[in-house]
Structure 1
Amino acid sequence: MVILGDIFEHVNYVKVPGKTFKPIHKTLKTGLYKDENEVLHWLVHKKAEQKKDYYCKKISEMEQKYNMDFSVFENRIHLKAKQENLEECNDLILWGGYVKACRYWEQFC
């Protein structure tokens, strides 16, 4: 349980003064960064890169699976609308999500 203010409580057994927990990243202590905002900016940037790389990898897997890029695959599915293939329809939805997510995270890199 967390109580806002000066005291941090964990299951009512341990009480630790709030001043014990300093929100300073260890890289700030070593002098690599000027302040906490710079550390936070760096952390967000790194997380965005990881997310972007993850979704780009997923996009590559789909491109290898179908041997085409998303726009070609999307057109192919829409042209074959009468012959529904459930796996391809599911992959279209997943792949589209991967593309959107990759574009979203690229803006933070």
Structure 2
Amino acid sequence: MWTLLGKLLGGLVGGVRKALPDRNRQNDAQSRINEAEVSGAPRSFLRLWRAFLGWMLSLLFGWEVVGRLIVIPVFFPDWGKELPPSALDQIMALLLGMLGLGF
């Protein structure tokens, strides 16, 4: 009786496994599709433009947060009075929009 029950449960578990998709095979297939799409894509000026904009916005964000708030007041306290007003709001709006996070 136990062997019959074991076979029945084993068949049930095997059937459920076959019904569920194999994630490793799906991930491998998606990776091959992504590689094929990228390899066939022409070199685009738009990719360079976005990369340049991303680096510039990241550098500006770093300046506004680290440079303006930490480095300048600690090492150059007299320069803080001569700096233009902060543009962190505009930088954050552009950077978050570019990252798709909304603003």
Does TM, scored on the shorter chain, surpass 0.5?
no
Higher helix share: 2
- Higher relative CO (Cα under 8 Å, sequence separation at least 6) belongs to 1
The higher radius of gyration belongs to 2
Higher strand share: 1
* TM-score (normalizing by structure 1): 0.30
* TM-score (normalizing by structure 2): 0.32
